Structure 1
């Protein structure tokens, strides 16, 4: 009986630690987004892009969009984060909740467009404006240029993580490298991307 109690306490303690870690992580990214809203610092945006980009793409794929469309919606979502950061209110939502909501809304818009026969837009819903297409194209080109500056090993893991939505363990298995190497390559890649963005 004592052993069962001990195991139960260990499980509870582990769950508490996980919740605490997740809470700290949410608070950290909320502070980063709030700072971006105030400063428009491209380095902060690069951090948000690096963290949320792969997660948003995987989320959109789970919602039902194919990988190619999910990639486009992810880029639109992260561009919306940049454009609408001033609208973020940390007292109403965490950064992750706010960003995922943006992504979900864009995903629904895309699904409605791609399945116009099955979905009908309400009359009072305004179609997304194309006025930011130029800004989107510039940002996309800058990101491609930044990715081109990375060593091949780092670019490879970044591509598999962001563009293909693979987990760290899946990447490690595919490339035949330790999980720690995947994480360190991604960390180095994001550091280089931040340095590149600083120079812009």
Structure 2
């Protein structure tokens, strides 16, 4: 370890790696890690030891104790990451919606009012079928089954209701 620390001796590190990698892997597996994770953590531990070799103090601990401590800490870090995944700041669920322009609220309210007036011009039956199709998200087949109407009748009534709405909205200056 001192040859690695003082001179960056690759041959010394290779010997250290060959000796300790299987032992670290077995130790990490005894801690409960699957084989592939244990192998990965053993490699990470030894790479970390390579980078921190200058901090190794033989008066504090043996090489084995130092390496096994690094491996145990790598395992703990992995467990913490698995239990608490890192947050992706670009996750769409975490990005707040943009504030609408103040005038867009007024525009939206006016459009909704025009649509309500146009809906009042429809028959109760047409309004009911549109509500089932658009607000209850039912297919034409589901509406036909629910209302005990022929499928063609449901399609015709919805198509006529939409055409009538379009005419009403176009008459008020709203594109449909």
Give the TM interval when normalised to the shorter protein. Answer: 0.3 to 0.5
As a proportion of its length, which structure holds more helix? 1
TM-score, L = length of structure 1: 0.41
Higher RCO, Cα 8 Å, sep 6+? 1
